A and B are shown apart, each in its own frame.
Chain A
Amino acid sequence: MYSKKLQSDLSDRKKKWNAVAEKNRKSRSMPRFFTVSGVDIDELYTPDSIKGAFDDNHYFDKIGLPGEYTFTRGVHHTMYRTRLWTMRQFACMGTPKQTNERFKYILAQGGTGLSTAFDLPTLMGYDSDHPRSLGEVGKCCVAVDTLADMEIIYGDIDLSKVSTSMTINSPASILLAMYLAVAEKQGVPFDQVRGTLQNDILKEYIAQKEFIFPPRPSIRLVTDMMKYCARHVPQYNTISISGYHIREAGATAVQELAFTLADGFCYIESAIAAGMDVDEFTPRLSYFFNAHSDFFEEIAKYRAARRIFARHMRDKYKAKDQKSWLLRFHTQTAGCSLTAQQPENNITRTAIQALSAVLGGTQSLHTNSMDETLALPSERAALIALRTQQVIAYETGVANTIDPLAGSYFVEALTDKMEAEAEAYFAEIERRGGVLQCIEEGFFQRELARSAYRHQQELERKERIIVGVNEFVLEDEKVQIPILKIDRQVEKDQLAFLQLVKARRDNGAVQASLAHLGEVARGNGNTFEAIYDCAKCYATVGEMCDVLRTSWGEWVESASAMAAS
């Protein structure tokens, strides 16, 4: 990219420069210059910091143009000049009825995308009347026991006109089946159903820990559903492969990058092994990353992710359709970076994190509210969070040109470094027997625990400063955040409704469909079709999960996965 003459001149000039700089280095403003992830950063980056920068082919081999291979600069030719990123704010809305009202309000305001989040019992495959659900029903978002709840949530909403994202993992097939059953009742053909399911079970074992079944049957659930959707629900995004939770659980930026992409490759290999063609399903996969506070490290992470994915898809998995080479991603700012102390500072943190996601070329973005360390967001805080994105989009000018940090010696060198370190992790994962083996043996879990503990130690030794927490502290600060409390009545109402549905449904049909699901689960048929039959006759999430628990067992973390570091 640069001339060979520059290479030799640079070497001479840097020696002279260094002689002067050395005199100034005696005093330093910080004890160590390193990223949030613990990566040491050089004082200065120049063209010779970029490996291969003096080779003729370097630009097109490593960087190239947006919308073209290597896709480092972005997945579209024109990026934000033709379409800004989608400002997608994830929200919790309460009971099925309140959720439905909120959805109708969003649609009346011109919104077209709905986001559904579920309470912990639903996420864990327990009905609202299960003893383990006590105290958790409707707490962190909406409770779904049967199709009847989904009929209320999406009542009077034309499912051919909206796209719905559902944040659900272990029982994802069950919730999608219920959603499709609502569509069928509305007379909406499945090929018009659009939306995204999180459905990323691998990161549950690694990070968020909302798993039910062991990894291998869980992967079968996913591939069965991918198969069904590729044939019948072609516009549906079947998995959102998530690094977000991996980062929140303590990962460094490189670990987030490497483990997320490794998970993605694991799904792709599983689908290929199940007989699917790589180009049949890969374009329906998308990614979900975290935007943490270390500005340049995050930008380099997104750029490296696109480059790594494109190369592996083209060269390793032999995908022919260019759409299979594109890593499209959603970003959420880092919840774990927010502080309970001086919460207004979180607005600043979120703005800088969001800016990194935009400069990194995200397709959609959620900005956190300043009060989220203590509660579900207040309306005012949620509005500020959305406004933050709008300020970035319309006032700062950063969307005027594509990938504006390309060619920065620092950003390019950091992008290359993260790519190389991710490749080293891929090699280690393979040496350890692959992603599933690494999960079973607790490799990822230990890596995360170690990073999280190191981060905490750096904070406590004040090698790392968090404003308002370990420096610039306000003595006797009283945090004034209004707390949204969920009424106990929500739980009682949900239980009463579940009893009613159970009394009214055709229990013979429920038992027959559940028995069939058990046979399929223990055999080789497509589990998704069997789940769909159960969902349609109002079998509960818990009943279906119990059949699968009986067939496959439940996952319990091994001692090595639970190790503190």
Chain B
Amino acid sequence: MAEKIRVLLAKPGLDGHDRGIKVIAAAFRDAGMEVIYTGLRQTPQMIVDAAIQEDVDAIGISILSGAHMTLFPAILDELKAKNSLDILLFGGGIIPDDDKATLEKMGVAKIFTPGAPTEEAIKFLRGAIEGRRTQEK
């Protein structure tokens, strides 16, 4: 059997709306993943340090405040600086289409927007992580 997917979930920035990320955490857990939710107001540095320490396959973040164009790139920079771009970064929130395209071009693996079913996120993550693991072999 394949090794369990390990994913770190966090809320960066000052926004405290955590309904979505908790639903995602429960759905990932029920889909058999190992979920580490580090909570609210995590700085990019805190998120990346925790991801490295917990040896996760992916980082998922949720932003509803409009600060996504500052925070996603900051996390990518932090991953780059710590030589950890093998960790997949994805996220969700209130993110307009053109920002979503820009972020995905920048290196965010996937952005989910309002109304996306949890099943879609689960499928995406499984596909992406298994793809990466096969490459490594």
Which residues of A come within 8 Å of B, CB atoms?
Answer: 120-121, 123-124, 126, 132-136, 139-140, 204, 208-211, 248-250, 336, 339-341, 373-375, 448-449, 452-453, 456, 459-460, 469-470, 479, 483, 486, 556-557, 562, 564-565
Name which residue of chain A comes closest to B71, CB basis: A135
Query: Closest Cβ of chain B: how far from A188's Cβ, in Å?
Result: 33
The residue that B118 contacts in the complex, of A136, A211, A374, A460, with Cβ under 8 A, is: A460
Contact partner, B26, options A120, A448, A564, Cβ 8 Å: A564
* Nearest residue, chain B, Cβ from A562: B39
Return the contact of B13 from the options A135, A204, A373 (Cβ within 8 A). A135
Tell which of B14-22, B51-59, B102-110 binds the partner: B14-22
Interface segment out of the listed B62-70, B76-84, B126-134? B62-70
A557 pairs with B39, CB closer than 8 A: yes
6 new A-B contacts, CB < 8 A, other than A373-B114, A375-B94, are A120-B14, A136-B65, A339-B115, A453-B22, A460-B117, A562-B37
CB distance from B28 to the nearest CB of A (A): 9
Instruction: Give Cα A414 to B117, complex, Å.
Output: 32
A208 in contact with B17 given A135-B69, A140-B65, A375-B96 (CB within 8 Å): yes
26 A-B Cβ contacts within 8 A? A120-B65, A121-B14, A133-B14, A134-B70, A136-B13, A136-B65, A136-B66, A136-B67, A136-B70, A249-B19, A250-B19, A373-B114, A374-B96, A449-B19, A449-B26, A456-B27, A469-B115, A483-B96, A556-B39, A557-B39, A562-B22, A562-B39, A564-B23, A564-B25, A564-B26, A564-B37
**B1-53 at interface with A (beta carbon < 8 Å):** 13-19, 22-23, 25-27, 29, 35, 37, 39-41, 43
Most buried by A among B16, B40, B43: B16
Docked complex: B84-134 residues within 8 A CB-CB of A: 94, 96-97, 113-115, 117-119
Complex alpha-carbon distance, A140 and B13, angstroms: 13
The docked-state distance in angstroms from the alpha carbon of A373 to that of B94 is: 7
Contacts of A469 in B (CB 8 A): 115
Q: Which among B14, B26, B27, B97 has the greatest number of chain A C-beta atoms within 10 A?
A: B14
Min CB distance B39 to A, Å, is 5
Contacts of A373 in B (CB 8 A): 94, 114
Q: Which residues of chain B have C-beta atoms less than 8 A from A375's C-beta?
A: 94, 96
Interface of A is mostly: loop
Contacts of B26 in A (CB 8 A): 449, 453, 564-565
Give bound CA distance, A375 to B97, whole Å: 12
The interface of chain B, by Cβ under 8 A from chain A, is 13-19, 22-23, 25-27, 29, 35, 37, 39-41, 43, 65-67, 69-71, 94, 96-97, 113-115, 117-119
In the bound assembly, the distance between CA atoms of A146 and B118 in angstroms comes to 43
Q: Are A340 and B114 in contact (CB under 8 A)?
A: yes
A343–B44 CA distance with the chains assembled, in angstroms: 33
**A14 CA to B119 CA, complexed, in Å:** 45
Select from chain A the residue with minimum beta-carbon distance to B15: A120
| Residue in A closest to B11 when the chains form the complex, CB atoms | A209
Q: How far is the CB of B119 from chain A (nearest CB, A)?
A: 6
Chain B positions within 8 Å of A208 at CB level: 16-17
Q: How far is the CA of A244 from the CA of B104 in the complex (A)?
A: 34
Q: Assess whether A140 is in contact with B23, with CB atoms less than 8 Å apart.
A: no
Q: In the complex, what distance in Å separates the CA atom of A140 from the CA atom of B18?
A: 17
Residue of B nearest to A478 (CB): B97
**Sorted from nearest, which 9 A-B pairs have the closest CB atoms?**
A209-B16, A135-B70, A564-B25, A564-B26, A120-B14, A135-B67, A340-B114, A453-B26, A139-B66
Residue of A nearest to B20 (CB): A452
Q: Would A453 and B27 count as touching, CB distance under 8 A?
A: yes
Given the complex of chains A and B, what is the CA–CA distance between A91 and B43 in angstroms?
29
Please tell me if the beta carbons of A374 and B19 are within 8 angstroms of each other in the complex: no
CB neighbours of B22 from chain A (8 A): 250, 449, 452-453, 562, 564-565
Q: Which residues of A contact B97 (CB under 8 A)?
A: 479
CB nearest to A480 among chain B residues: B97
Contact in complex: B39, A453 (CB < 8 Å)? no
In the complex the two chains form, what is the Cα distance from A250 to B18 in whole Å?
Answer: 10
